[in-house]
């Protein structure tokens, strides 16, 4: 596709349920990132993929969060046993390579997660 | 660790006013610097960037100069328009070994431009 796409655009769930958020990066982009945008915290890095491997998961806030990427393309961020503090906009970004500090990251529109 | 500090908003200006949004950073390596913008209801998009000292990034009338001596990357526009109303994020991408893959963002500055 022309840009990074994410689904769903909005997700409302009950506390304790599991959710899956999907990201489709720009075709050919090998690097993929997940960020979280929440009130008071700004934009926080969660995890980075280079191809299908995740060399850095240091931003994941707890072991309830996990992510995978298959075929070097689509990525899924899973949050288990959601809590109200997980409510945020989850953003995905991709870039052709992650080797250069000059690379521009291209962001998707985000998934707004609301945990009731 | 790396960090970005930007001017807290909200900032409210009248159309055609001069805009400055301050941004300073700390980084272990030699970072690239970015301004991203988020228009209402839209995703985050790159506004401009600069990759080395004294570089000036510019786009849509906005400018920012990479000042290594003051570790700053202030965003300026000479004459804002109502359509510039958005949230602006300063960010850095540090290329010191092991961290050349994520953006570190400031907390964002909400700009509202009134007609």
A interface mutation test: which of B102, B107, B109, B110 has the most A CBs within 10 A? B102
Q: What is the pLDDT of residue A77?
A: 97
Q: Quick check: A105 and B43 CB within 8 A?
A: no
Cβ-based neighbour number of residue A107 at 10 Å: 24
B99 has pLDDT over 60: no
Torsion sign, CA atoms A111, A114, A115, B4 = positive
Tens digits of residue pLDDT in A69-100: 988 899 999 999 999 999 999 999 998 875 66
Q: Does A31 contact B101 at a Cβ distance shorter than 8 Å?
A: yes
pLDDT tens sequence across B19-28: 999 999 999 8
B94, B25 contact by CB (below 8 A): no
pLDDT in tens, A51-73: 888 878 888 999 999 999 988 89
- Asked if A48's CB is within 8 angstroms of B101's CB, the reply is yes
Tell me the C-alpha distance between B82 and A112, whole Å.
Answer: 26
Backbone angles phi, psi at B82, to 5 degrees: -55, -35
What's the mean pLDDT when you consider all of chain A?
90
């Amino acid at each position: 596709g022309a840009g990074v796409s994410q689904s769903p655009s909005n997700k409302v769930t009950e506390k304790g349920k599991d959710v899956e958020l999907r990201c489709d990066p720009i075709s050919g982009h090998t690097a993929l990132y997940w960020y979280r945008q929440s009130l008071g915290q700004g934009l926080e890095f969660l995890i980075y993929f280079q191809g299908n491997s995740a060399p850095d998961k240091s931003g994941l806030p707890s072991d309830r969060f996990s992510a995978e990427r298959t075929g070097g393309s689509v990525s899924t961020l899973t949050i288990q046993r959601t809590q109200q503090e997980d409510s945020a906009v989850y953003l995905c970004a991709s870039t052709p390579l992650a080797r250069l500090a000059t690379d521009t990251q291209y962001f998707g529109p985000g998934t707004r997660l609301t945990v009731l | 660790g790396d960090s970005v500090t930007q001017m807290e908003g909200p900032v409210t200006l009248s159309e055609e006013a001069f805009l400055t949004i301050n941004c300073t950073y700390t980084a272990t390596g030699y970072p690239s610097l970015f301004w991203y913008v988020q228009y209402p209801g839209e995703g985050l998009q790159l506004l401009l960037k600069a990759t080395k000292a004294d570089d000036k990034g510019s786009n849509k009338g906005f400018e920012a100069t990479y000042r290594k001596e003051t570790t700053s990357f202030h965003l300026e526009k000479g004459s804002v328009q109502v359509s510039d109303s958005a949230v602006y994020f300063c960010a850095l991408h540090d290329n010191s070994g092991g961290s050349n893959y994520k953006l570190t963002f400031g907390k964002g500055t909400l700009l509202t431009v009134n007609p």
